[in-house]
Structure 1
Amino acid sequence: DKQFGQMIEAALRWNKPVRIGVNWGSLDQDLLADLMDQNSRRTVPWDAKPVMYEALVTSALDSAQRAREMGMDPGQIILSCKVSGVQDLISVYGELAKRCDYPLHLGLTEAGMGTKGIVASTTALSVLLQQGIGDTIRVSLTPAPGESRAQEVVVAMEILQALGLRSFVPSVTACPGCGRTTSTTFQELTKQIDDFLRAQMPVWRERYPGVEKLKVAVMGCIVNGPGESKHADIGISLPGTGEAPAAPVFIDGEKRLTLRGERIAQEFQQVVENYIEQRFGGARAPETV
């Protein structure tokens, strides 16, 4: 309580917002015990989990109220309730959103490593964001030895972009591969184009406003390739197994040219650059003087 008060006083002194976070790993045990006692007197007692959810929500709201009583403006208070179970997080934030208008910070704590952590965080955050719940997000991943923590930021950005809530870099739709794609050409081109787009974004973001919404398709054969490419702003359909060594390129839904030979990747990259210059170059941000 003393530390909480000191933090709020410092925020007030410097006119800073605060995030009040409740974590089920360090929940107020007196509050939890009181709610458990109240629950035991119910005609039909709740299961343990709903009581835990209520404790988290109550703790967050009570803390926010205390901050307001100390002088904090409601608009400078952000709440979070961190748990490590996907369904638990969805339930807690669903209830918290019903009972307050504070901005909410979403995050699945202790999500884990690698694919497991990414899938768990993506699942929980996507459900809540799709319901309109959440104002800021954090993806918590346990990094492998020597691995950069930047992966957490990348995953968070990908979640927002996949849901159509924000755009950070051009999206690349890519063929997964099948029996018609025995070569690795489509894989190599997909990685090359994706790496190229991401590497250029620091410059393009200033030079070509709106380029982050660009959609590029790299497909591996002529069965689904042309159709998928037409749905993108610019797409290429590479030759599959047994197909003629030609790669039609579709721009704004229409076939514009066909690439052939050993330099398809380099030529397609140049086509993408030219398209970006032509489409977004006229919308450049004003230069500072």
Structure 2
Amino acid sequence: MPQTLLFACDLSAENRAAFARAIRLAVENGAQLDVLHVLDPHLPHQALRDLEIAVVEEMERLMTDLREDYALPAPPTLIQTVAGAPYVEIVREAHERKAGAIVLGAHRKRGQPELVGGTTLARVLRGAPCPVYLISHAANQEWQDVLVPVDFSLACRHTLRQTLMRFPDARLTLLHAWHVPGEEEFGSNSGYAQWRDREVERLRQQIQGEIDQMMNELGDVPELELELERGEPGEVLLNRLRRQPPDLLALNSQMRLGRDGHLTERLLAEPHCDMMVCRAW
């Protein structure tokens, strides 16, 4: 049985890029594409039945159009509707279908991270049993340049393992943020500057050792580039994305933005690239 890729379709204009990417991923991975639309369960019974027929027809038409636009063959496909709370049904269906990944369109309220927390998107990320692709760019863009923030936690190792497994031929960049204590208080002191430089070199060697150990655990891996930047991890990542966005950002769902809140909510409101968000274990 082929692996199942679950695409949650809301039929919005913003959802087209995600639909096209879902088709392409299914074709490239030999997976079955399950297309799901969640209906409002409080509609009258007849209205719900009529809407279900119209929605399925529209999803079939849209899939045909996208395949023609991107010159994609047809993967094995199942198009369905269910009634219920969208995030509950998406997560439940992913569990029941043993989905290898979920594909979602990007959050539409850009620049408003305070509105992300209670959205279907954010809730699916918290409960998904598999990696979730968040798509904001056209499906014809190759995922060759993949950025992975690392903090050497178990969740980080899991995300890196998923990235290597899914994108073995991509160029991987590992980004690690660091902070040397005393910078603000003693930064102008020459003695401190010498100590800081020694600490930075020691840190680089330590991190390289951590990377080597992690790579040995993961087995045969491609050449990696390690970037070290000073600052709070979330701000370092956001600045890196603004300055040099990758094709794909791979991170775990528990990454936090300093002491102020979840990094994921900032990233969802400011999508500089497509994302793959992995569960923490």
> Normalising to structure 1: TM-score of the pair?
0.32
Higher normalized strand content (fraction of residues):
2
Which has the higher Rg, Structure 1 or Structure 2?
1
Higher normalized helix content (fraction of residues):
1
> Normalising to structure 2: TM-score of the pair?
0.33
Greater RCO, 1 or 2 (C-alpha within 8 Å, sep 6+): 2
